[in-house]
Amino acid sequence: MRNLSVELAGVTLKNPVMTASGTFGSGAEFSEFVDLNKLGAVVTKGVAAVPWPGNPTPRIAEVYGGMLNAIGLQNPGYDVFAKRDIPFLQQFDTKIIVNVCGHTEEEYLEVVEKLSDAPVDMLEINISCPNVKAGGITFGTVPHVAEDITKKIKRIAKQPVIMKLTPNVTDIREMAKAVEAGGADAVSLINTLTGMKIDINRRTFALANKTGGMSGPAIKPVAVRMVYETAQTVKIPIIGMGGIRNADDAIEFILAGATAVSVGTANFHDPKTTEKIVAGIEAYMEKYDVQDIRELIGAVHE
Three-state SS string across 231-289, please? Answer: HCCCCCCEEEECCCCCHHHHHHHHHHCCCEEEECCHHHHCCCHHHHHHHHHHHHHHHCC
* CA atoms in the 13 A half-sphere facing the CB of 219: 30
User: Is 101 in the active site?
Assistant: no
Whether residue 246 contacts residue 269, with contact meaning beta carbons closer than 8 Å, is answered with no
Count of CB atoms situated within 10 Å of the CB of 207: 23
User: Among 88, 110, 86, 87, which Cα is nearest to 97's?
Assistant: 86
User: Among 132, 198, 143, 135, which Cα is nearest to 165's?
Assistant: 143
Q: Is 194 left (phi over 0), alpha (psi -120 to 50) or beta?
A: beta
Which residue out of 89, 129, 145, 290 is catalytically annotated? 129
Count of CB atoms situated within 10 Å of the CB of 287: 8
Looking at the annotation, which residues are catalytic?
129
